[in-house]
Amino acid sequence: MTKTAKKKVGQKKDAKASLFQSVQGMADTVPADAALWRALRDAAETVSELHDFRRIETPVVEPLANIEAALGCAGPCDASLYLVKAKGQRLALRAESTVGTLRCYLEHHLGYVASPFKAWTETPLFRWTPQRLGRPHLTHEFAFSTIGDSDPVYDIETILVLFEFLREMKFKDLKLSVNTLGCRVCRQNYREKLKAYYQSRRQKLCRSCSSWCERNPWRLFSCENPACREARADAPIVLDYLCQNCNNHFKAVLELIEESGIIYEPNPYLLCDTDYYNRLAFEVTVPGFPGVLASGGRFDYLAEALHGRMIPAVGGAVRVETTIAALKALNIQPRVKEKPRVFFIAVGDQAKKVGVRLIGELRSSGIAVSEVFGKKSLKAQLKVAEKIESPLVLLVGQKEAFEGTVITRDMRTGAQETVVASSLIEEVRKRIK
Ligand SMILES: [Zn+2]
Ligand SMILES: [Zn+2]
C-alpha cells in the first residue's frame, strides 16, 4: 500500500472513531449516574415546593444581544461563549442561568404573578475554556432566583434553599463562605484602592497578576503564586469601603445567617468581576471535598442592563457535576424515591400474551415492571432478574396461562406462591411493601 493510501485509510478510521465521541469537554449522562440525577431532581422539587419557587424553562440559546447588554459590552466580549449562527440571528448557548431567567421574568411580566417572583430551573450551561485547563465545557445546575425584592430576608432564603437541597442529598457539616461586593458606588472606590495597592507592588507580582492588576484587580486574589499570596495578605478588603446602605444590608444578612444556625466564614476574597452582580456573594463547600457545591449572589443591576429599570434580584445554584463528584468521593448514598419494581417472566407464546396484558395492568397501577420477553427460556430470563437484583419475580408458563394464575417468587428468600391473576396487583403490593 502506498503512503497516501495508508494515510487515507488512517483518516477514514479517525473519522469513524470520532462518530462515537461526544463533543470535547461535554460528557454524556449514563444510567450509572441516573439514580444520583434523580435524587438531585427530587431534592430540587422538594425544596422548591417548600419555599414556593415556581419552575421555569427557558431555551438553551439566548439572543447574543441580551448577553452583551448584561455584560455591558458589544461584539465578542466573552471568549468562553458558544456562539450560534442561525438564519441571520446572533445567538449564544446559555453560559449561566441569570440572564435567561430575568429575560423570561421581564418578557412574561411575571412580577404580576407574584412579588417577589421566585423561580427555579434545571439547566445545562456551556462554557468554552482552553483544553489545558481540563475544565468541562458542559455543566448543569439547579438554579433558584428571587426577583423583585431587595430585602436581606431573600438573601438568606437563597442560602437556605441551597443548604436544604444539599442536606436533602445527605451532605453534612456544610460550610458557607460569604462576602459582599458592595454597590456601584462603593465597589468603584474599592476597586481604585485595590488597583493602587497592587500597582505599587507590581514588581513583586507574577507576570499574569501584573498584567491583570489594572483591568481586574480582584482576579489577583485567586492567584496561588507565593509572592501574590503574600501581597494579598495586606491588600485592602471590601468591608472597609462599603457605603452605609451596603454595610447595613450585609450586617442584616449576617444576622439572619446567625439566626438560622448556619456556620459561616466571611471571605473577603470572594469577589466577582461581572458588573451586574452586587452585594451578597457566597459559596457552599463540604469538608473532605475540594470543589464548590453551590454558589450565588445578588444581581440587582441585571434588569437595568436588559431593560433599563432596576429590579432587585438574588439567586444561587447547586452545581450538578461537582455535587455528584462529591457524593461519590465522600461515599454518600442519597435517598432515591423509587417506584416499587418487579420482574415479569413469561415462557411460551400464550404466556407472553397474558404477560403483556398483566404488565399493562401493573404499570397502570403505578408498579414498575422489567421484562426480557425477547429471551425465550426461563433460565435466560431468570438470569437477567438476578443480575438486576429484582426483589420480586412474577412467572407465567403455559400451565399458569391456561389456569389464570401467576407464580410469585421472592428473590431474597426463594419462597414461591401461586396467586390468582385477577388479584395480582393486590398480591404484588402486599409483597413489595
Ligand atoms: Zn454601596
Ligand atoms: Zn499572581
CA of 199 to the centre of ligand 1 (A): 24
Res 4 pLDDT > 80: no
Task: State the pLDDT at residue 77.
Answer: 67
CB atoms within 5 A of ion ligand 2 belong to 206, 209, 223, 225, 228
Q: How far is the CA of 209 from the centre of ligand 2 (A)?
A: 4
- Spacing, Cα 186 to ligand 2 middle (Å): 25
227: which 3 cell numbers?
509572592
Residue 292 CA to residue 285 CA, distance in Å, equals: 5
205 Cα–ligand 2 center, Å: 6
Using the mean position of ligand 2's atoms as its centre, give its distance from the Cα of residue 199 in Å: 13
- How many Å lie between the centroid of ligand 2 and the Cα of residue 225? 5
Distance 220 CA to ligand 2 centre (A): 6
Rounded-to-integer distance, Cα 104 and Cα 118, Å = 12
The whole model's pTM is what?
A: 0.86
* Shortest-distance ligand to the CA of residue 224: 2
Average pLDDT of 17-26? 80
Calculate mean pLDDT across residues 339-349: 89
- Which grid coordinates are listed for 68? 452583551
Question: Which of 66-75, 213-222, 353-362 is modeled with the greatest confidence?
Answer: 353-362
Instruction: Report the separation in Å between the CA atom of 188 and the middle of ligand 1, taken as the mean of its atom positions.
Output: 9
- CB-based contact 182:279 (threshold 8 Å): yes
SS3 content of the chain, % helix, strand, coil (to 5): 45, 20, 35
Structure confidence by residue, pLDDT tens digits, 241-269: 999 999 999 999 999 999 999 999 999 99
Q: Report the alpha-carbon angle 70-83-320, nearest 5.
A: 75
Give 109 Cα–ligand 1 centroid separation in angstroms.
Answer: 28
Residue 70 has pLDDT above 60, yes or no: yes
pLDDT in tens, 277-329: 999 999 999 999 999 999 999 999 999 999 889 999 999 999 999 999 999 99
Sign of CA dihedral 8, 10, 13, 18: negative
Ligand 1 centre and the CA of 237: distance in Å?
A: 14
CA of 247 to the centre of ligand 1 (A): 7
Query: For 176-220, how does the pLDDT look when each residue is reduced to its tens digit (9 = 90+)?
Result: 999 999 999 999 999 999 999 999 998 999 998 998 888 888 888
Which ligand is located closest to the Cα atom of residue 217? 2
Rounded CA gap, 17 and 29, in Å?
Answer: 20
Whether residue 275 has pLDDT greater than 90: no
How many angstroms does the Cα of residue 172 sit away from the middle of ligand 1?
34
